[in-house]
Amino acid sequence: MSEHEEHKVESTTAQLFERAVEQHSRRLLAIARGIVGNRASPEDVVQQAIMNLYQHRARYDWNEPGPLLRRAVVNEALRLLRGPKMSMVQDDHPSGSSETPVDEMVAGETVQQVRAAIDKLPEHFRSALILCEYENMSYDQIAKTLNASIPQVKTWLFRGRRQLAEMLKDFVEGKRKSAVR
Amino acid sequence: MTETDLDMLEMYLDDALSDRDLAEAARRIAEEPELATELALMRVQREMRREYFASIEPTEAGVERLLGRVDESLRRRSSWERQIKWGRIGIAAAACIAIGFTTGYVGRGTGRTGGPAVAQNQQVTAPTVVASNTDDHDHIHFVGKVTPQVQLTDDNGRVIAVQPFESMDKANEFVNDIQTWQDRQRQVQNGNVLLMGGKF
């Protein structure tokens, strides 16, 4: 490959890379927050994941960057969680978009309860759940992202949901009763 | 409710059942109220999780902040990569120069330490002893084919004496003696050696 062609490829890769980061950063931040919770800054996780990819950008196909970026962010988030225990970071996002203060309070409580329960799940259960229910990924895609088998992913999802149902049983029951009244 | 039933319902909601299993699940949900109740409960739980997932969406400011940080990091990395690229070129050039110098130094001419040059095919046409005002008779040459002769020259290359010998061995011996004497003279002049005695 001539120097001119090499420069052209490099320039195209750089453009695709920038576009991919811009397009996916919102979802990536949410995935990172979902996995690390308040134990690390999601921005740090996503930034590090992006920089890791940038270092080897020539190896990847940037025409289909979504799965690549998600995998990088999930791996970075899990890597951080396996590291030494970190201090809590501040929550800096709105709790919801409810119409009235009462709705907002109820929604806020639901979010808090679910967040507390999800935070207690093992990290792989939590990651699989976020990729399945937030990213709407298939079992096959989740397996590839988490570097696991499909049966393993199905097990993680099933157990994670069962554990959540158990943890939130009383809260759900209370909600149902108040809804009946 | 068995685990298999629960698993089937979760997969039903995940849209992960095959066409045949989907039809079977739909039939059972319609016919078994217990399954329908459990499915409704699962939907409530999912709705709660959906609310939570909506809450973890970052703010616009958060996204902008991330993009700014990434941009800054990329600029720093690009600048660093450029520096490394030019650094490599510089190091390569320096390495070439160093190799060149080393090669030149190692393979340099032996000069004076190599001993006198022997020119077997030269003949001294007019062997003349030339008086010299210098003691540094550095340049000694063998000349003559039939009769070996040693030419003594001064620093400027002028022949100051020619000594014929019967054989090449004798001529070599003479040259070695001269060199030894010169080396000792130099040591004495430099003050490195206190000369107690010597055979000259």
**What is the pTM (predicted TM-score) of this model?**
0.63
Q: Is B196 on the interface with A (CB under 8 A)?
A: no
User: In this model, does residue A24 exceed pLDDT 50?
Assistant: yes
Name A37's Cβ contacts closer than 8 Å, sequence gap at least 6: A115, A118, A119
User: In this model, does residue A84 exceed pLDDT 60?
Assistant: yes
- B45/A172 Cβ within 8 A: yes
Q: What is the pLDDT of residue B195?
A: 53
Mean pLDDT (10-residue bins), chain B, 200 residues = 92 94 95 94 93 92 90 84 79 86 77 46 41 46 64 78 83 86 80 56
Q: Which residues of A touch B21 (CB under 8 A)?
A: none
User: In this model, does residue A99 exceed pLDDT 80?
Assistant: no
ipTM: 0.81
When mean pLDDT is compared across A90-99, A161-170, B12-21, B151-160, the lowest value belongs to: A90-99
User: In this model, does residue A18 exceed pLDDT 90?
Assistant: no
Asked if residues A115 and B52 have their Cβ atoms less than 8 Å apart, the reply is yes
- Mean pLDDT value of segment A129-151: 95
Q: What is the DSSP string of chain B?
A: --HHHHHHHHHHHHT-S-HHHHHHHHHHHHH-HHHHHHHHHHHHHHHHHHHHHHHTSPPHHHHHHHHHHHHHHHHHHHHHHHHHHHHHHHHHHHHHHHHHHHHHHHT---GGGG--EEETT---SS------S-S---EEEEE-SSS-EEEEE-TTS-EEEEEE-SSHHHHHHHHHHHHHHHHHHHHHHHT---------
* Cα Rg of chain A (Å, integer): 19
Distances (CA, A) of B1 to A86, B13, B116: 41, 17, 109
- A97/B58 Cβ within 8 A: no
Strand partners, B142: B118, B150
Q: Is A97 on the interface with B (CB under 8 A)?
A: yes
Q: What is the pLDDT of residue A177?
A: 75
